[in-house]
Amino acid sequence: MKKEPFVTKEKIEEIVKEYPTPFHIYDEKGIRENARRLKAAFSWNKGFREYFAVKATPNPYIMEILMEEGCGFDCSSYTELMLSERVGAKGDDIIFSSNATPNEDFLLARKMGVQINFDDFTHIEVLDRLCGIPETICCRYNPGGEFKTSEKGNVMDTPRDAKYGFTHDQIIEGFKILKNKGAKRFGIHAFLASNTLTNEYYPVLAEILFKTVVEIKEKTGVEISFIDLSGGIGIAYRPDQLENDIFEIGKGVEKAYNKILVPAGLGNAAIYTELGRFMLAPYGHLVAKAIREKHIYKEYIGLDACAANLMRPAVYGSYHHITVAGKENAPCDFKYDITGGLCENCDKFAVDRMLPKIETGDYIIIHDTGAHGFSMGYNYNGKLRSAEILLKEDGSFKLIRRAETPTDYFATFDFDEKYRF
């Protein structure tokens, strides 16, 4: 499928008059329409709710939009809990899914009355000693082995090598203990593969969880109220990849639900999701400017953005599609490495990419950066984090995070007069 940016060169030229590149920009219209599609795809389930994975795009203005679309938040840390609370989420609007969880985080989660999802069996005892077990509690399941879909030979991931979750025996025992400690409303969670591009991921995962839920009821008497399929639905980063069909995914989960849960008398269980990438990735671009060109053994274009603004290509070798603004329909007959300025050779947004001829001053649009983009940013080489901008439904734009300044970068030395900048 042809990948088209949601901003034009003209719009970028308008924005840079106020906010210079590089910046991340988000498409409100796309975010809302996608959130509505997800909701419609799971409308067969009365209790369905998406808990947006805050770590993907921790910006309160984005979170507000998602909240207006009915989403709650999946938090993984103390600050994400703080942020969600500030946006107006409370109690059941939040799931706290963390691992190697510090005491302070547990205490804040408990104080806020959010739904805590235990990553480990030993955390039951930890939380109980710290502040007692709340009425609502969730456990993360790791079935071990390899995770396969029905497609022959398709191993998606190897849960036995993943650090997350309870083993099968632990989860049975865990729910017994939690029931004895007074918990009343129970959830189960699993996240077995990331960035999946098959409509089968959720249905296969759902089947595993639903069977486990039936087993838990038989062995412990605990009736699970919500089943959290977590994140993992991927997006088509490459133009030649086939997108997921969220309606097919919804139907696949419904089929497993009707086959396994309904006959077991568990037809009231709610389905939760904790999608991050699927909710935001396609609706964000990193917009940068070509500031240098270099002709050595290869042809290089140097941008004013670098891996500190988007680390996925440097860390995972991930493909991010690139459009040269204003040259959308020009032939791609030049081969470039598109780089940032970090002193690391992996700081390349694209390697041997065929693109239209690039002049310095051209705006370079890097696609699918709306999730795990800005949020994974860092300050290596003294690079500052960029601004974030929201392209609103009416076509106007709004600053939703200002760019860092040197003062922000040096702020953590402010205890000493000598190094206050």
Ligand X SMILES: *Cc1c(COP(=O)(O)O)cnc(C)c1O
Of 5 and 370, which CB lies nearer to ligand X in the complex structure?
Answer: 370
What's the CA gap between 125 and 136, in Å, rounded? Answer: 16
Which of 67, 275, 290, 308 forms a contact with ligand X (CB under 6 A)?
Answer: 275
Question: Contact between 353 and ligand X (CB under 6 A)?
Answer: no
Which of 77, 167, 194, 381 forms a contact with ligand X (CB under 6 A)?
Answer: 194
Site for ligand X in 211-250 (CB under 6 A): 230-232
Question: Contact between 191 and ligand X (CB under 6 A)?
Answer: yes
Question: Contact between 56 and ligand X (CB under 6 A)?
Answer: yes
Determine phi and psi for 246, rounding to 5 degrees: -65, -30
Q: How far is the CB of 34 from ligand X (least distance, A)?
A: 13
**DSSP line for 222-262:** PPEEEEE--S-B----STTSPPP-HHHHHHHHHHHIIIIIG
What's the CA gap between 251 and 47, in Å, rounded? Answer: 16
**DSSP line for 386-401:** -EEEEE-TTS-EEEEE
What's the CA gap between 83 and 75, in Å, rounded? Answer: 9
Omega within 30 of 0 (cis) for the link into 22? yes
**Residue type for position 262:** V
Question: Contact between 276 and ligand X (CB under 6 A)?
Answer: yes
Question: Contact between 277 and ligand X (CB under 6 A)?
Answer: yes
The residue whose Cβ lies closest to ligand X is: 231
Q: How far is the CB of 390 from ligand X (least distance, A)?
A: 20
Q: How far is the CB of 74 from ligand X (least distance, A)?
A: 5
Omega within 30 of 0 (cis) for the link into 331? no
Of 195 and 381, which CB lies nearer to ligand X in the complex structure?
Answer: 195
Question: Contact between 74 and ligand X (CB under 6 A)?
Answer: yes
Cα–Cα nearest to 58, from 399, 388, 283: 388
Determine phi and psi for 67, rounding to 5 degrees: -65, -40
Site for ligand X in 87-116 (CB under 6 A): 97
CA 143-75-387 angle, 5° bins:
130
Question: Contact between 371 and ligand X (CB under 6 A)?
Answer: yes
Stretch of 211-219, 261-269, 274-282, 349-357 lying at the interface with ligand X (CB under 6 A): 274-282
Of 167 and 194, which CB lies nearer to ligand X in the complex structure?
Answer: 194
Structure tokens at 27: 């498409």
Of 128 and 157, which CB lies nearer to ligand X in the complex structure?
Answer: 157
Stretch of 205-213, 219-227, 270-278, 309-317 lying at the interface with ligand X (CB under 6 A): 270-278
Of 19 and 51, which CB lies nearer to ligand X in the complex structure?
Answer: 51
- Print the SS3 string covering 124-153: HHHHHHHHCCCCEEEEEECCCCCEECCCCC
- Lookup result for tokens 């005491």: 103
Q: How far is the CB of 346 from ligand X (least distance, A)?
A: 22
Q: How far is the CB of 95 from ligand X (least distance, A)?
A: 8
Radius of gyration over every alpha carbon of the chain, rounded to an integer in angstroms:
23
Number of residues binding to ligand X, judged by CB under 6 A = 17
Q: How many CA atoms lie within 13 A of 415 on its CB side?
A: 1
Question: Contact between 187 and ligand X (CB under 6 A)?
Answer: no
Positions touching ligand X (CB under 6 A) are: 53, 55-56, 74, 76, 97, 191, 194, 230-232, 274-278, 371
